[in-house]
A and B are shown apart, each in its own frame.
Chain A
Amino acid sequence: MRGISWQGLAVAFGALGLLTSLQTSEDENPHARAPRDVSLVVTEGAWLRAPGADWFAQRAKAEPGRFTHDATAAGGAGGWVDSHGEYSLSEIEGEWAYWQWASAERLTDGRQDFVQFCSSCHGLNGDGYGRSGQHLRPTPRSFQQNKFKFTKVTADLPSDEALLSVIKRGLAGTPMLPWDLSDVQLLDIIQYIKSLSPEESGWRDVYSQVGDAIEVTEDPWTDTKERAIVRGREIYHGAASCHLCHPGYVTNEELRVIRKDPEGTTYRENLTYPALKDSEYEVLGRATKVMPPDFTWHQMRAGTTTADLFQTIASGIKGTAMPQWKGAISDEDLWALAHYVENLIVSYKDQPAARSAFMGGLRVSGDNK
């Protein structure tokens, strides 16, 4: 890969237009900004934080012979050993962690595709300020803040599988398209994106963690969907109190019954609208807010099947006000919530007449504004 010429690459990609414009615009444009690094070659590999022991235990089943468990590893705590040498267990500052080696060659492949497909919006260095992305809303994600929303894991950093699924499916309702590239290409791009973590943060930090996958368990309500929706509505407005941030989909009177509150109890203003919440993600150095979706109105980013909704609710949305619910309420209730939310989407989203009858009805009823 080293020493390959610009022209050669351009021909190889069959994308003369894009690459030559990248190459020449800085030279010829009198208004050009400071030169930026558009080199397609990565010269150094990187150690990146890998998932924990559970992930290796799973992979060991999928790839017999590749991973073996060594009881004496990790100071006697036990650890997984990779015969390919791609993964390694190391102790740094008293913390044991798995690491993945991304070679310079692999990062180069990832960077080439990243520059071609991703950088126009996400920026050449992944800061989220690519030229085409500057007026997009929501703004293209910066890969330097380590805030990834749909991680499908318990902790803050997503697994490769989760990133792969986001890129392949896109994020509905945003300019992030579904990308029909090969898994090999996408996984190389993902390694490159991970290597953009600032030093000692994100995938390059021993204290960060790639979380354990939150599995989609078996739906216990498949034959009793109607009951699931009733139960989900109770959890939504009761134990989980989703209506503190998302809209409440009941009248105040109904809410009092569900919550067993005394007559005359009042709830938040604009109960049937979402409440804007703080986000940890920054744009141009400023704090941002997130809008918890109204399921009868907003586009869900990460899927609308019962299983998708189960996963999103269980995992939470990292860097936002949406917490992880796995473990906080039972899987049975999580599934009930997923059925209830799915029912709201199916019944009212993109159905103006039905929605306006439903939400309008709630909004004119008594004290429920």
Chain B
Amino acid sequence: MRTSFFALVLSSSVLTACGGGGEAPAPPPGGGPGSSSGTQAPANSGSGGAAQAAGPTAWSDSAGTATVSGSASFKGEAPAPVQIAMDSDPKCVEMNSDGVTDGSVLVDAAGGLQNVFVYVSNGTDAWTFTAPEEPVVLDQVGCNYTPRVVGMMTGQALRVKNSDPTVHNVHTYPRKNRASNVSQPAGSKALDIEMNRGEVLVAVKCDMHSWMQARVGIVDHPFFTVTAADGSFTLPKLPAGDYTISAEHEVFGKASKQTITIGDGEAQSISFEFSK
């Protein structure tokens, strides 16, 4: 139902574009969108959608048997952790009585870089993917975000919780998605934030506690992950194919992309290197 209507809307917009010659498209008749031809797509829309409607097939989790794993590392001397001054809110100080350092750069003794968002940036066009029903959870604990970096699929909700005995405001900084900034006093119920367009990485900040930062990577497929404390990552269940794999860190930005060709059941290893 949705698909066929979408096709009709597209075709009507194409006709309008061809016949319009720069003049105003005829206003939609009163018959209503239910009669399909009644709706006009905005003039700048729709291109690209038509090709996708015919091509891709629905993705099934069992289709992929290949695995890409590897690690992200930081080259050079890692910046020393900076102590965070939480003095503005004694509730935050109380929860971090031993002090707390800025978690934006976490490098282990072997150079492994934590919290790098790793994702397939090209090669998944042959499938359409359905976002999981359950939201991705970002919690606020001890006046910091846990986890600091999360990935989610387009159409999935970002559920932000406040487990702290103090107020936060959840301020997102997307470039392609809808921006939002909503306050969340202690004891509030979770906020569900929608970001339906692929975007890596979206910053989430709290203006009341200016040190609080998180990042969200949003892609339209399930092939993404975040590196562990030792910088390692695994992207399982990939189907055979040619892929571009990208990695981005909140401070060091993007690493050089890696292109791979992988067959069914194969395992390949790649690495990403970051520097200042």
Contacts and interface: CB of A to CB of B under 8 A. Distances in A.
Interface of A: 43-47, 68, 70-76, 79, 81-86, 88-95, 99, 101, 103-104, 155-156, 199-200, 204, 206-209, 239-241, 244-245, 261, 265-269, 275, 277-278, 280, 316, 318-319, 321-325, 327-329
Residue of A200, A241, A265 ringed by the most chain B CB atoms within 10 A = A241
Contacts of A328: 182-185, 188
A278 B184 CA distance: 19
Contacts of A156: 178-180
Contact of A101 (B5, B27, B183, B207): B27
A75 to B, nearest CB: 4
Contacts of A47: 40, 42-44
Interface in B86-118: 87-90
Contacts of A207: 176-178, 196-197
A199 B44 contact: yes
Given A85-B27, A268-B87, A155 B180 contact: yes
A81 B33 contact: yes
15 contacts: A68-B32, A88-B39, A90-B9, A90-B41, A91-B2, A91-B41, A93-B45, A94-B6, A103-B24, A156-B180, A200-B44, A280-B179, A319-B179, A321-B208, A324-B182
Interface in B130-165: none
B32 A104 contact: no
B22 A241 contact: no
B196 A95 contact: yes
Given A156-B180, A208-B178, A92 B46 contact: yes
B49 interface: yes
B178 A209 contact: yes
B234 interface: no
B88 A70 contact: no
Contacts of B31: 81
A342 B49 CA distance: 52
Contacts of A245: 207-208
Contacts of A72: 32-34
A281 to B, nearest CB: 12
B28 A88 contact: yes
Interface residues of B, number: 57
Contacts of B29: 85
Given A70-B33, A89-B33, A321-B169, A43 B207 contact: no
Nearest to A72: B34
Nearest to B174: A207
A86 B25 CA distance: 11
Contact of A324 (B30, B176, B183, B210): B183
B1 interface: yes
Contacts of A92: 41-42, 45-46, 49
Given A85-B30, A90-B39, A261 B171 contact: no
B28 A244 contact: no
Contact of A268 (B45, B88, B169): B88
Given A45-B24, A70-B32, A76 B1 contact: yes
B167 interface: yes
Residue of B33, B44, B88, B197 ringed by the most chain A CB atoms within 10 A = B33
B89 A244 contact: yes
Contacts of A324: 180-183
A65 to B, nearest CB: 11
A267 B207 contact: no
Residue of B34, B44, B205 ringed by the most chain A CB atoms within 10 A = B34
A90 B41 CA distance: 5
A44 B22 contact: yes
Given A90-B40, A268-B87, A269-B87, A244 B27 contact: no
Given A156-B179, A240-B183, A316-B181, A81 B32 contact: yes
Interface string B16-27: 000000111111
Given A266-B87, A278-B207, 15 more contacts: A68-B32, A72-B33, A88-B33, A89-B33, A156-B180, A199-B44, A207-B176, A266-B90, A267-B90, A268-B87, A268-B88, A316-B181, A319-B179, A324-B181, A324-B183
Given A207-B196, A265-B90, A323-B182, A239 B42 contact: no
B129 interface: no
A162 B1 CA distance: 37
B259 interface: no
A240 B181 CA distance: 14
Top 4 A-B pairs, shortest CB-CB distance: A85-B27, A321-B207, A72-B34, A47-B42
A207 B49 CA distance: 15
Contact of A239 (B2, B180, B185): B185
B38 interface: yes
B166 interface: yes
B181 A90 contact: no
A3 B167 CA distance: 59
B9 to A, nearest CB: 6
A324 B197 CA distance: 23
Contacts of B186: 239
Contacts of B183: 240, 316, 323-325, 328-329
